[in-house]
Amino acid sequence: MIKMNQILDKRELAPGIKEMVIYNPNIASKVKAGQFIVVRVCEEGERIPLNVVDWDGGRGTLKIVFQEVGVSTYKLGKLGIGDLIMDVVGPLGNPSEISLFGTVICVGEGVRISAIYPVARELKKAGNKVISIIGAKSKELLIYMEEMRGVSDELRITTDDGSEGRRGLVSDELRDILESGLKIDRIVIVGSAMTMKMCTEVTKPYHIKTIASLNPIMICGMGMCGACRVEVAGKTRFTCIEGPEFDAHQVNFDVLMMRLNAYKTEEQMALKRFLEGRG
Ligand code: FAD
Ligand code: MG
């Protein structure tokens, strides 16, 4: 008998990047592109948000992709097929706005290429011409290439070291497309805060509606704790219930980055302890 929150499949997509299929029919029947879940791996575990990258309402399954960066993601990565994740809450956040915009650029960077995938897929289904740009540090860290090719009219690839596609950043490729004069109606970016900031600076002079899916530290995911507050158009907004997508031209990315680094020392100490088997 399959149990709630049981891991039905697990794959390593790249070193330190894992994909899991989880059984949770409640979430699988409701989730939409752009939404996320909050998971707690074990009794004493912390809450961490993860995007839902794919789902199958019929089978009651959802797919997540995560990078092992600290204690909670390492703990999750240690679970295997058949194991149970203690808590899975969702779907959370607002779905992506999906409509017929015209020509849309979807940008995905690093582990978050997986999070732009359902958005690109739904935008394509809605009739848009989808140009996707995906990028990673190197070829071995490039994930979801074939998935993205399958939902894009055009796929452009960048790597920092040039081991696949163009040598450079996704923002370089984005700049080239905009400079070519091609008419672009909307841009959606999902990546690290720095990448989203750089892409946003590229699109600003062109006045093209640009959407960024923000990734602040988030705890409750339901608008109560306030950990995920960000500054948008000079106002404080809660990413979990008001986002995660915001008009990128209005986002203060410097505040986002500062707050993401607020607990770096404690996180590094906790990871060291964990990797040494001390907690
Ligand atoms: P830690 O060592 O605790 O933290 C490493 C870094 O991650 C920190 O410096 C901080 O910048 C950030 N972080 C720490 N705690 C949190 C937290 N509770 N919430 C958010 N960021 C945190 N990552 C993926 O790999 N795949 C995803 O699909 C994905 N989707 C996300 C969706 C949303 C809406 C948000 C807000 C974040 C998402 N993230 C995703 C980031 C992921 O939640 C963090 O990498 C994870 O929480 C780190 O936890 P840790 O204990 O392993 O690492
Ligand atoms: Mg942590």
89-99 pLDDT, tens digit each: 999 999 999 99
Mutate to test the pocket of ligand 1, among 37, 50, 113 (most ligand atoms within 8 A of CB): 50
Q: Is the CB of 71 under 6 A from ligand 1?
A: yes
Which ligand has the nearest atom to the CA of 13? 1
| Cβ-contact 91, 82 below 8 angstroms | no
Please tell me the class of the 103-260 domain.
alpha beta
Cα-based distances in Å from 15 to 56, 138, 163, 168: 26, 11, 16, 21
pLDDT-based confidence at residue 144 (cuts at 50, 70, 90): very high
Report whether the peptide linkage leading into residue 244 is cis, meaning its omega lies within 30 degrees of zero: yes
Q: Which two tokens stand for residue 145?
A: 């290439």
pLDDT, position 225: 95
Which ligand has the nearest atom to the CA of 219? 1
Output the CA torsion 84→34→113→198 (10° steps). -130
Domain 7-92 has CATH 2.40.160.10: no
Q: Which two tokens stand for residue 29?
A: 């029947």
pLDDT-based confidence at residue 278 (cuts at 50, 70, 90): confident
The mean pLDDT of the chain is 97
- The domain limits of the chain are 7-92, 103-260
pLDDT-based confidence at residue 126 (cuts at 50, 70, 90): very high
Two domains, one topology: 7-92 and 103-260: no
| Cβ-contact 85, 22 below 8 angstroms | yes
pLDDT-based confidence at residue 18 (cuts at 50, 70, 90): very high
Report the chain's terminal Cα–Cα distance, integer Å.
Answer: 32
Q: What is the DSSP letter of 33?
A: T
Chain position carrying tokens 């979807």: 106
| Cβ-contact 155, 149 below 8 angstroms | yes
Residue 216 C-alpha to ligand 1 middle, in angstroms?
A: 8
